[in-house]
Amino acid sequence: MFNMFGMSSNDIGIDLGTASILVYIKGKGVVLKEPSVVAIDRDTNRILAIGEEARLMIGRTPGNIIAIRPLRHGVISDYTVTEKMLKYFINKAVGKKTLLRPRIAVCIPSGATEVERKAVEDATYQAGAKEVSIIEEPVAAAIGAGIDISKACGNMIVDIGGGTTDIAVISLGGPVSTSIKVAGDDFDEAVVRYMRKKHNLLIGERTGEDIKIQIGAAYRRPEVLTMEVRGRNLVTGLPKTIVVTSDETLEALQEPAMQIVDAVHNVLERTPPELAADIYDRGIVFTGGGSLIYGLDQLCQEKTGITTMIAEAPLTAVAIGTGKFIEFQNGDSADAKKEY
Ligand code: ADP
Ligand code: MG
């Protein structure tokens, strides 16, 4: 459907994240957000469930059913599964009734290879797209965070997802960027390791993530928070409950937190001086779910000396930016900053 300005009203942006997939439809906003998880029957290799339904099966299913995250660490580990997952979400979000085929932009984790990009492009065409664009994550994150990239000079965007952290300086000459495989999942794993080492307590990654979200700290909290954690005592093999404090998580999370801050530092060092001066004026913008770990922004600010802010909607910025990218690409950028 075309309005008087010639813009298609069925443009779709898809954020193919390592932890979640979001679908944004122009004029409607984010219409779907589900975990990037697929449940598979190991015996027959059949896909049993996708998304939220698959996530709920984790840990509650017989041994022959496994839940996989095909995009974990930003690399497409299983192309066929990724393709099926993508098609399933597009159909779910768009519905089958639509007469006009949509223009779809997909943002894939950076670090993906040419072959992987092509695979995602093909899968999107097969799912019914009229036009497909594959876009760079930092550019999408910048647009979604409200930065006008047509004028952009020296904005630094740090998108911290589940499997990868993308650090980029957006400028007219294109992004200067780095992607590291330290992100949200590594904080969960760091909590799990800490609990085993310090308390002889075995906990699962889901519990590690709960601890991180509820009481985790990358920078000391003004008040100490506590949480009861249940796990298995590694000495006796029996269930055990202990109380964990936010100060303990500070110790546990230090390593991945500093790896991210060091990577930011490295990108700053490689940025031409004029651009670096712009970043100093404008600050660093964080997006992605991993940016919500308490105090990571403060830690970055303290270590780099540059004001660090979390974008207004860190979890949806990439999906929104991906959808809006289609407008930029087609030259109808006047509206691109409005209408969220
Ligand atoms: P991706 O783009 O890779 O799909 P997301 O941007 O959705 O990833 O971020 C997922 C990560 O964000 C996970 O590691 C999750 O634990 C973390 N996360 C989500 N909400 C919070 C929160 N409130 N505090 C800390 N971490 C969070
Ligand atoms: Mg993401």
Convert the pLDDT of each residue in 17-42 to its tens digit.
989 999 999 889 999 999 999 999 88
Whether the pLDDT of residue 226 is over 60: the answer is yes
Concatenate the DSSP letters of all residues of 136-192 into one string. EHHHHHHHHTT--TTT--SEEEEEE-SS-EEEEEE-TT--EEEEES-SHHHHHHHHH
Q: Report which ligand 1 atom has the smallest distance to the Cα of 15.
A: 2
> What pLDDT score does 26 carry?
86
Residue range 244-271: mean pLDDT, rounded: 96
> What pLDDT score does 13 carry?
95
How far from 174 is each of 151, 158, 164, 235, 307, CA to CA, in Å? 12, 15, 20, 54, 23
Q: How close is the Cα of 287 to the center of ligand 1, in Å?
A: 10
pLDDT category of residue 209 using cuts at 50, 70 and 90: very high
Q: Which of 16, 20, 166 to mutate to test the pocket of ligand 1 (most atoms within 8 A of CB)?
A: 20
Which range, of 216-225, 285-294, 303-312, 324-333, averages the lowest pLDDT? Answer: 324-333
Span between the terminal Cα atoms of the chain, in Å = 19
> What pLDDT score does 332 carry?
53
Q: How close is the Cα of 15 to the center of ligand 2, in Å?
A: 7
> What pLDDT score does 6 carry?
41
Whether the pLDDT of residue 7 is over 80: the answer is no
> What pLDDT score does 338 carry?
40
d(CA 162, CA 173): 28
The closest ligand to the CA of 183 turns out to be 1
Residue range 65-87: mean pLDDT, rounded: 83
pLDDT category of residue 173 using cuts at 50, 70 and 90: low
- Taking residue 117's Cβ as centre, other Cβ atoms within 10 Å add up to 14
Burial class (CB in 10 A: 0-12, 13-18, 19+), 68: middle
For the chain, percent of residues with pLDDT exceeding 70: 91
Q: How close is the Cα of 148 to the center of ligand 1, in Å?
A: 25
Residue 14 backbone phi and psi in degrees, to 5:
-120, 125
Whether the pLDDT of residue 214 is over 60: the answer is yes
Q: How close is the Cα of 1 to the center of ligand 1, in Å?
A: 35
Nearest CA to ligand 1 atom 25: 293
> What pLDDT score does 340 carry?
35
> What pLDDT score does 331 carry?
60
d(CA 283, CA 296): 15
Q: Report which ligand 1 atom has the smallest distance to the Cα of 185.
A: 14
d(CA 19, CA 35): 6
- Closest Cα to residue 226, out of 214, 241, 236? 214
Residue range 134-140: mean pLDDT, rounded: 88
> What pLDDT score does 66 carry?
86
Q: How close is the Cα of 317 to the center of ligand 2, in Å?
A: 9
Whether the pLDDT of residue 250 is over 90: the answer is yes
Q: How close is the Cα of 127 to the center of ligand 1, in Å?
A: 27
> What pLDDT score does 29 carry?
92
> What pLDDT score does 107 carry?
92
**Tally of helices (H runs) and strands (E runs) in the chain:** 10, 16
Q: How close is the Cα of 246 to the center of ligand 1, in Å?
A: 18
Which range, of 77-86, 117-126, 294-303, averages the lowest pLDDT? Answer: 77-86
> What pLDDT score does 229 carry?
98
Nearest CA to ligand 1 atom 14: 184
Whether the pLDDT of residue 4 is over 60: the answer is no
> What pLDDT score does 334 carry?
45
> What pLDDT score does 71 carry?
83
> What pLDDT score does 78 carry?
79
Q: Report which ligand 1 atom has the smallest distance to the Cα of 74.
A: 3
Q: Directed axis angle between helix 246-270 and helix 205-215, to 10°?
A: 90
Residue 12 backbone phi and psi in degrees, to 5:
-130, 140
Angle at 101 between CA 95 and CA 106, to 5 degrees: 85
Q: Which of 292, 294, 297, 318 to mutate to test the pocket of ligand 1 (most atoms within 8 A of CB)?
A: 292
Which range, of 54-63, 154-163, 214-223, 235-244, averages the lowest pLDDT? Answer: 54-63
Burial class (CB in 10 A: 0-12, 13-18, 19+), 78: middle
Q: Directed axis angle between helix 114-126 and helix 79-94, to 10°?
A: 40
Whether the pLDDT of residue 275 is over 50: the answer is yes
| Residues whose beta carbon lies within 6 Å of some atom of ligand 1 | 17-20, 161-163, 184-185, 209, 212-213, 288-290, 292-293, 315
d(CA 203, CA 200): 10
Q: Which of 16, 82, 213 to mutate to test the pocket of ligand 1 (most atoms within 8 A of CB)?
A: 213
pLDDT category of residue 178 using cuts at 50, 70 and 90: confident
d(CA 340, CA 243): 42
The more confidently predicted of residues 311 and 176 is 311
How far from 157 is each of 30, 140, 318, CA to CA, in Å? 21, 10, 11
> What pLDDT score does 133 carry?
94
